[in-house]
Amino acid sequence: MVMAGDWPIRAIWYVEQITQAQEDPAMTKGALALLIHGGTDNWSPQRWKARFNDVCADRPVVLLPDANLDPADVHYAAVWKPVPGELAGFPNLRVIFNLGAGVDALMADKTLPGVPLVRVAVDDLTQRMTEWVVLHVLMHHRQELYLRESQRVKRWAPKYQWPAAAINVGILGLGTLGLDAAEVLKRIGFQVAGWSRSEKQIDGIETFHGAAQLDAFLARTDILVSLLPLTPDTRGILDRKMFTGLRRSSPLGAPIMINAGRGGLQDEADILACLDDGTLGAVSLDVFGQEPLPADSPFWTHPKVVLTPHNAADTDADAISRYVAEQIATFEAGGTLRNTVDRTRGY
């Protein structure tokens, strides 16, 4: 209750608050909450907050946990590997932005709010993934494992180099990443085909789709590149059955498998066994079931394995923060969010 003696002070305070809100749009816009776990130094929570402060200067940006935050003030969340249940406590949440391309960890959260979930799809990510895929396809095509071992033992014994046109590259997953990699590999001269869950038509690239056409796709493939999302249907799909279905008459001697999708796609025991018995000639792996890869993993020292520490598409964080800010602005202007996840498919 306002007493007669203090009403002028209360009135002045109220006018000051209204004026400040008009001058500072951040006081009138819902907060962007950051839930960041893990990542490189460049992906540290503090660096993410600094970036979002720059590109979202018109709204509060809050790094969680924050004891002073009212959960009802949060309208948006930008997340990287959040703990299950962390997002359930924001009653006014409107959109969740995943700071990476894969959303399998989020989809496993049974308490995930039923709001739009947006995945990262920036040109920088696509280009970096394509660079990694092309690097490793060429590495195996041009016999780099053999040549580096030859250098180590001082052996001058070149082998015949097959032209790119003699090698069939098959790409599992024809989303943005798979399509871009396929087009670049085709320009280099490889025979490129792709497989996807649903039918797609791509100029100059043979396409297969669905379970009924998977065997035909594998049977013509010398170098298999996996860029699939991790879903209940794709978990463990890179196994002995799949590797056995690859082309046995490969000019490379034995088929090659390259995985930059998700570690959960691959049966790691099958990969090692198939390398040892010749079903596979070599592999390049950027992802693993357990990360960081344990020091006692046989993948570290296997002579037919090229591994990288899940950095195939280590995307420019500045580009991601700008992407999120642009999406929020579009959404608040009544526009349509891009690259939203289809929860029924899991990607």
Per-residue HEC secondary structure of the chain comes to CCCCCCHHHHHHHHHHHHHHHHHCHHHCCCEEEEEECCCCHHHCHHHHHHHHHHHCCCCCEEECCCCCCCHHHEEEEEEECCCCCHHHHCCCCCEEEECCCCCHHHHCCCCCCCCCEECCCCHHHHHHHHHHHHHHHHHHHCCHHHHHHHHHHCCCCCCCCCCHHHCEEEEECCCHHHHHHHHHHHHHCCEEEEEECCCCCECCEEEEECHHHHHHHHHCCCEEEECCCCCCCCCCCECHHHHHCCCCCCCCCCCEEEECCCHHHECHHHHHHHHHHCCCCEEEECCCCCCCCCCCCHHHCCCCEEECCCCCCCCCHHHHHHHHHHHHHHHHCCCCCCCECCCCCCC
pLDDT, one tens digit for every residue, the chain (347 residues): 344 444 443 333 333 333 343 444 444 699 999 999 877 777 889 999 999 999 999 999 999 999 999 999 999 999 998 999 999 999 999 999 999 888 988 998 999 999 999 999 999 999 999 999 999 999 999 999 999 999 999 999 999 999 999 999 999 999 999 999 999 999 999 999 999 999 999 999 999 999 999 999 999 999 999 999 999 999 999 999 999 999 999 999 999 999 999 999 999 999 999 999 999 999 999 999 999 999 999 999 999 999 999 999 988 889 999 999 999 999 999 999 999 999 988 88
Is there a shared CATH topology between the 14-122+315-332 domain and the 126-307 domain?
yes
pLDDT of amino acid 21: 37
75 is catalytic: no
What is the structure's pLDDT at 20? 40
Extents of the domains making up the chain: 14-122+315-332, 126-307
262 part of the active site: yes
Fold designation for 14-122+315-332: Rossmann fold (3.40.50)
Q: Which one from 140, 262, 322, 338 is the annotated catalytic residue?
A: 262
Superfamily of domain 126-307: NAD(P)-binding Rossmann-like Domain (3.40.50.720)
Identified catalytic residue from 310, 322, 338, 345: 310
